[in-house]
Amino acid sequence: MSIVFSGVRPTGQMHLGNYLGAFKNWVVNQEMAESYYCIVDLHALAEEVDPKVLKERTILTAVTLLSIGLDPEKCTLFVQSTVDSHVKMAWLLSCIGSFGELSRMTQFKDKSQTNMLKKGEVSVKVALFTYPILMAADILAYGADKVPVGDDQKQHLELTRDIAVRFNGSYGDILTVPDALIPPKGSRIMDLLNPTVKMSKSAGSDAGVIYILDEPKVIEKKIKSAVTDSLSSVNYDFVNQPGVSNLLEIFSAITDEDPKIIASQYQNYGSLKKDLAEVLIDRLSDIRQSALELNKNLDEIYKILEIGKAKAYDHSSPIVKSVEDAMGLI
């Protein structure tokens, strides 16, 4: 049986990009693979965050993931910091990864540059630089062969594979070399107000981001206000019509229909937006309801995470032990 691992940073409310790029695939994979889904709170520490807020976001993330359909009977849902395999493995792999390859990570370049401009060099944490090593550790500690992620994680996945191959070359065939599972549609959902940047929890404005738990009225308003263009014809063409194409991409990822066929059914942006808002509200309403219910019983959420922690530890610690052993630790 295939082993699947993926993670999400509790850095804010989960959005449509997270859902279509990753979580939708998580739900599918729990049916056919041994699946480990991790709320990667240690990764969230790489950026400035209030401790109380981080705790709240960690629980909100668990609630959201359960609401979209993760079933603790079918997958293991847990919090990264509760299983020490991750930090152990991260140190071991930081002795395999190189400064040069980490320096080439585009996410580090982008995020460090933004922080640097805002608050100077001191605000760029070492953890932001070593983040991809911790991500490699997350995946490799579980022997995962499949990693369902959005397109933005492609480069980190390549690094994970390189590290696994290099480790195996030096120490024997111990680590599984994983493949990224990137969905054909919805792997990079763009911001509704600025379709040249990806939809993100840390986006400048909430108006360009559809959160999974947004109320129907809010979804409708955000879709209505989405940026289009003055060409007045509906085409799936990201180069010339990025705004409209992003709407078609979302439509296609939700309905599993071809975006070009969807485009051919509309003559104007108004009716496309109206129908898209409807399908989105239809898909997200049940999730929202379910989150409202789960929020009433947070004890149950803590229990699920506690069980997940034990299962994750049992699965990952023998793999970490063999890595330690292979590297000469007694």
Site residues (vs ligand AQP, CB under 6 A): 8-9, 11, 17-18, 20-22, 149-150, 152-153, 187-189, 198-202
Catalytic residue list contains 111: yes
Q: Which residues pair with 211 in a beta bridge?
A: 15
* CA gap 253, 184 in Å, rounded: 8
Nearer to ligand AQP, 175 or 209 (CB): 209
| Sign, Cα dihedral of 200, 13, 68, 246 | negative
Q: CA-CA distances (angstroms) from residue 272 to 169, 179, 197?
A: 53, 35, 22
The minimum distance between CB 281 and ligand AQP, in angstroms, equals 20
Nearer to ligand AQP, 9 or 315 (CB): 9
Q: Which residues pair with 6 in a beta bridge?
A: 37
In the bound state, the residue with its beta carbon closest to ligand AQP is: 21
Nearer to ligand AQP, 123 or 317 (CB): 123
* CA gap 230, 241 in Å, rounded: 9
Nearer to ligand AQP, 67 or 153 (CB): 153
The minimum distance between CB 192 and ligand AQP, in angstroms, equals 11
Nearer to ligand AQP, 156 or 273 (CB): 156
The minimum distance between CB 316 and ligand AQP, in angstroms, equals 19
Contact 134, 43 (CB under 8 A): yes
The minimum distance between CB 7 and ligand AQP, in angstroms, equals 6
The minimum distance between CB 40 and ligand AQP, in angstroms, equals 7
E runs forming strands in the chain: 3-8, 34-39, 75-79, 146-148, 179-181
Catalytic residue list contains 118: no
Catalytic residue among 74, 125, 154, 198: 198
| Sign, Cα dihedral of 300, 13, 25, 90 | negative
Which of 32, 7, 328 minimizes the C-alpha distance to 141?
A: 7
Catalytic residue list contains 201: yes
Catalytic residue among 74, 125, 154, 201: 201
Catalytic residues, by residue number, are 111, 198, 201
